[in-house]
Every structure is written in C-alpha cells, then in structure tokens.
Amino acid sequence: MSAAQAAGAAATVRFHKELYDEQAIADATATFADYARFGVRGEGDHFVVDISDLDSEIEGDIVAEFCNFALANSAALRRNDG
C-alpha cells in the first residue's frame, strides 16, 4: 500500500484533454469504484479527478494504477476511432 493510502490522504490528478478520453476516465472510475471515491470535473484543458477514501487494505498504489488504466483505455479508444 502507498503512503497516501496508509494515511488516508486524498489525491487530485489532472488529465490533459488532448491525451485522455473522457469516456476512458469514466470507465476507470467505475472499475476502481470499490477501492476509492472519485469526483471528475472539467477544468480548462484538463479533466480533474479528485480521489478520496482510498482502501488501505489494497496492496499497491491505487492512484497510479487508476492513472495507468485511464491512459491505456484512452489509447485503445483513440486507436479504435482512428
């Protein structure tokens, strides 16, 4: 588990709209909903995700895994649209 998870801290992640697909972020929040609480909003050129209530029982870094999932799904969606 990461230090942020152990301390119960929240995290905020900014995803640039040119690199990340909104649907991919939504899919990531749904996939990781059992491990944290997510709030997504648009802010200029970014999607901003507020992450809280991280599950301290999970080994690994939930925030990093969430970001990897969103990036991989964004790439897959762009490949399928292109």
Task: Write the pLDDT tens digit of every residue in 31-51.
Answer: 999 999 999 999 999 999 999
Domains and CATH numbers, the chain: 3-81 (3.30.70)
CA torsion 43→16→72→6, rounded to 10°? -60
Residues 6 or more apart whose CB falls under 8 angstroms from that of 20 comprise 47, 70, 71, 74
Are 36 and 62 contacting, i.e. CB atoms less than 8 angstroms apart? yes
pTM exceeding 0.75: yes
Residue 71: phi and psi, rounded to 5, are -65, -45
The pLDDT of residue 82: 57
80 vs 45, higher pLDDT: 45
Strand ranges across the sheet with 46-52: 11-16, 46-52, 37-43
The pLDDT of residue 6: 52
